[in-house]
Every structure is written in C-alpha cells, then in structure tokens.
Amino acid sequence: MAEATLIISSKNYSSWCLRGWLLLKLSGLAFTEQFLAPDDVAARQELLLLASSTRVPCVLHDGLSVWDTTAIAEYLNELRPEAGMYPADRAARARCRSIAGEMHAGFHALRSSLPMNLRAHRKGFAIWSSAQADIDRIATIWNECLDKYGGPFLFGDRMTIGDAMYAPVCTRFVTYDVTLDAGCSAFTRHIMALPWMQEWIADAHREVEEVSELEVEF
C-alpha cells in the first residue's frame, strides 16, 4: 500500500495536527511528515483559530488530499479496517463517534483560553468560567467512558479514535495545571505516557519557531 504524507504546521502548538498524526499512527499506515513554513497563511490561521475551516493537517495518499480530522479518521478507518480504530461493539462505536464529533465541533472556550503549548507550564493558571464549563463536560465524557468500558483508554484496553481526538486536551490539562478528579488524572497520565505522545512531545521541544500570540501568559 502506498505511503502517505501528512502535512502539519507545528508540533508544539497544533492540537489538530497532533490528532491527525495520532490517527495515522493508530491506522498503521506508513507516512512521512511535511511541514508548512512558519509564515504560511493557512498554518498561522489554523494555529490562531482564525480559519473558517481547518485544512491543516492534511493527508496525501493514493492521489487524494484528505483534510479535517473527522474525514481523516473515517478515511483511515475505511482504508485500514484491520487496525480496529473504532471499538468492535456497535454501541461503543456509536459512542466513540459521538464524543469524537463533540470534540471536533465544540469546546471553543477551552481552545481559545488554553491554547496548546507543549513547551509551556502555567502553574496556578486562572481558568475562566466558560473554559471550566468545557473542562467539566470533558470530565463527564471521560468518566462515563472509563466507568462503562473499564479503561485505561476511553473504550477499554485499546486506543481508539476517541482517545486520539482527546489526547491534545490531556496536554492542555498538563500545561495549564488543571485540577482533575482521580479518574481523569489517571487517564491523562496514561495518554501522556504513551510512546507516540512522548515522541511527539520530544519533537515539539526541538522546534525553534515561536508564535508570539500563543506565548502570552493571560
């Protein structure tokens, strides 16, 4: 099967690129990375939440361009069904798609006030009430899944698309010193310790580019 190319912007700042990268890792499809220039308009708009639609990351494969992480997830799931990117159980698959869709479409206050920044650590960060409401909703989603499916991932003992979609949230919780209950704390630690996450984080720390707007301490 042909190797894919993943177009990404920043490993330090881009939650969407992390999702796309994790989805490709989860699929098992071989791929190479192609970085947009730091001053690329599409990359900057995506990082600063100014784009009307998110076209980064983008997967190039078999003559196709696939952007938007939900489209990437569905494309890879069709391409590599043996990877088990969704849970095997029909009801669990429906729940997985629902929470992935909620992550994709929602949590705007969390995105804007707690931007992803893997090189930063804002200890004692003051969280606005609107962002706290998003955090509370995410905690509810996680706890419901962990209670129902037994962990350590959201749908049991295998990583799924749902975990890939929420992995960048774990990085935000660490960066901004977010207080979590025991279940969510354990899930965050589990995700952050994954070899794929450690690989991404190490690459992020080697990046030299900075986006000044995302380095401001609110």
Residue ranges of domains in the chain: 4-83, 90-200
Q: Tokens standing for 143?
A: 């706890």
Nearest-angstrom CA–CA distance, 12 and 30: 22
pLDDT by residue for the chain (218 residues), tens only, comes to 679 999 998 999 999 999 999 999 999 999 999 998 766 666 656 655 555 456 889 999 999 999 999 999 999 999 999 999 999 999 999 999 999 999 999 999 999 999 999 999 999 999 999 999 999 999 999 999 999 999 999 999 999 999 999 999 999 999 999 999 999 999 999 999 999 999 999 999 998 776 655 555 54
pLDDT computed for residue 53 by the predictor: 52
Question: Which parts of 14-60 fold into alpha helices (H)?
Answer: 15-27, 41-47
Which of these CATH numbers, 3.40.50.1370, 1.10.10.10, 1.20.1050.10, 3.40.50.280, describes 90-200? 1.20.1050.10
Predicted TM-score (pTM) of this structure: 0.91
Q: State the DSSP H helix or E strand holding residue 12, giving kind and residue range, or none if neither.
A: none
Class of domain 4-83: alpha beta
C-alpha distance from residue 86 to each of 21, 39, 129, 160 (Å): 16, 36, 33, 5
Residue with tokens 């990117």: 85
Three-state SS at 74:
helix
pLDDT computed for residue 209 by the predictor: 72
